[in-house]
Amino acid sequence: MEKKFLKGNEAVAEAAILAGCRFFAGYPITPQNEIPEYMARRMPQVGGVFLQGESETASVCMVYGAAAMGKLAMTSSSGPGISLKAEGISTLAGAQLPAVIVNVMRGGPGLGTIQAAQSDYLHATKAMGHGGFRVLVLAPSTVQEAIDLTYKAFGLAVKYQNPAVVLMDGWIGSMMEPVTLPEAKEPVKNAYTGWGTRYYNPSGTDVDVVTSCLLEPDRQELLNIHFGEMYETWARDEVMAEEYMLGDAEYVIVAYGTAARAARTAIGSLREKGVKAGMLRPISLYPFPYDALKRLDKSRVRCILDTEMTLPVQMKDDIRLGVTDAIPVHSCGRSGGVVLTNEDIEDALLRIIEEEGK
């Protein structure tokens, strides 16, 4: 089958529709504008709803309302808008509703820059909002993977009745690559399984009480314990990572998304120079692939290079948890929207090797 040549943002939007998403609400912000623009054209064609909210706060709440009605729903934004959505995402999580949130990252903090960056790793993986909940975080590194992971994010969101985040950067959003699209799923009505009804209207048989407010501490604690157990399941069942040339690697680059692509090219030329470099590429950032790091041969791997499009790097603590300080972890990256090239990574690793030799 001939491949389509699609732009990342539009590909993500189409993938959502193919996954059965029939509700989208968003608010303009660069570099994700093609997602709402595409949805504005496409949703009416498939009998879905597109809304431009008056703010990110409002749009994510529109998604919450749609999800409460059993719709597969999505919103998208970039850094500053994701901050505003935090409230709604926390509400979705607390009310046990599925939804997909796409963050097309730019350079932060604050308004920062509109160019591509990976500024929101910590926000996405540690605290997408108040209250100590977690979301599944998937990080594509190609347009094809952006499609596949968006499609998968809906499945995971429904499976766990929890929001899932597709975390990509402005480059993946704006680049075009050859892709194949997955098959279209029939939209299904998601049955509400959250806990509101059992507490507020226990005898109600034909009604749902969709709420993130359990009011009573002991009930809320039970739910939080349930969430904790669910996150453990994710860590067991939903971890995704790619191991690239790790078999004999003495230097392991850990990178995700676009940074991992630059690393792949760097590894090619490092190997030509006789440097045994390889890469671990986390695809799910939450749950994080700690086990793949634990499995690294500590007698062979001389160091790890955490490579990110953000400074200071944000993934390093997770990497260190994985290798428990048995392997030194260095870092390199560019930030604020400055382009990270393969040469930047190659230079950084060669410098580290030179330092080692001294």
Partner 1 sequence: MDALYERPKSLTNRATAYCPGCLHGVATRLIAELIDELDARADTVAVLPVGCGTLGMFHFNTDIVVSPHGRTPAVATGVKRSAPEKLVFSYQGDGDLAAIGLAEIMHAANRGENFTVIFINNGTYGMTGGQMAPTTLVGQKSTTTPEGRNPAETGYPMMMCEILSQLRAPRYIARFSLDCPANVIQAKKGLRKSFELQRAGKGFTFVELLSNCPTNWGLSPLECLEWMRENTMKAFPLGVFRDRED
Partner 2 sequence: MEKKITIAGFGGQGVMAIGQMLGYASCKAGGNALFLPKYGPEQRGGTANCTVTLADVEIGAPESRYVDTLIALNQPSLERFLGAVRPGGLVLLNSSLCRWTGGREDVKLAEIPADDIAREIGSPKVANIVVIGAYIGLSGVLTERQMLDAIEEKLGKRPELLEMNRLALKRGMESATPRT
Burial of 37 (0-12, 13-18, 19+ CB in 10 A): middle
Binders of partner 1 among 201-230, rule CB under 8 A? 201, 203-204, 206-213
Q: How many residues bind partner 2 (CB under 8 A)?
A: 30
Q: Please pick, from the candidates 96, 258, 307, 310, the single residue that binds partner 2 as defined by CB under 8 A.
A: 258
Among 2-10, 85-93, 121-129, 160-168, which window interacts with partner 2 (CB under 8 A)? 2-10
**Taking the complex as a whole, how short is the minimal distance between the CB of residue 30 and partner 1, in angstroms?**
21
State which residue, 25 or 309, has the beta carbon closest to partner 2. 309
Beta strands in 228-308 (DSSP E): 241-244, 251-254, 277-282, 284-286, 303-308
Q: Examine residue 57 and tell whether it contacts partner 1 (CB under 8 A).
A: yes
State which residue, 101 or 139, has the beta carbon closest to partner 1. 101
**Taking the complex as a whole, how short is the minimal distance between the CB of residue 161 and partner 1, in angstroms?**
15
Q: Please pick, from the candidates 15, 61, 74, 329, the single residue that binds partner 1 as defined by CB under 8 A.
A: 61
Measured N-to-C along each axis, helices 8-18 and 143-160 cross at an angle, to the nearest 10 degrees, of 40
Q: Examine residue 287 and tell whether it contacts partner 1 (CB under 8 A).
A: no
CA distance linking residue 126 with residue 191, whole number of Å: 28
Q: Examine residue 27 and tell whether it contacts partner 1 (CB under 8 A).
A: no
Binders of partner 2 among 81-100, rule CB under 8 A? none
Q: Examine residue 5 and tell whether it contacts partner 2 (CB under 8 A).
A: yes
Ramachandran class of 60: left when φ > 0, alpha when ψ lies in -120 to 50, beta otherwise: alpha
Q: Which of 189, 184, 191, 211 is CA-nearest to residue 200?
A: 211
Q: Please pick, from the candidates 87, 242, 243, 250, the single residue that binds partner 1 as defined by CB under 8 A.
A: 87
Q: Examine residue 339 and tell whether it contacts partner 2 (CB under 8 A).
A: yes
CB 116 within 8 A of CB 258: yes
DSSP assignment letter at 116: B
Binders of partner 1 among 245-284, rule CB under 8 A? none
CA distance linking residue 121 with residue 199, whole number of Å: 36
* Amino acid type, 83: S
State which residue, 180 or 324, has the beta carbon closest to partner 2. 180
Q: Examine residue 63 and tell whether it contacts partner 1 (CB under 8 A).
A: yes
State which residue, 171 or 288, has the beta carbon closest to partner 2. 171
Q: Report the DSSP beta bridge partners of residue 328.
A: none
Q: Examine residue 177 and tell whether it contacts partner 2 (CB under 8 A).
A: yes
Residues sharing a CB contact under 8 Å with residue 206, sequence separation 6 or more, in sequence order = none
Q: Examine residue 80 and tell whether it contacts partner 1 (CB under 8 A).
A: no
Q: Please pick, from the candidates 12, 17, 18, 95, the single residue that binds partner 1 as defined by CB under 8 A.
A: 95
Cα 342–Cα 344–Cα 346 angle in degrees, nearest 5: 70
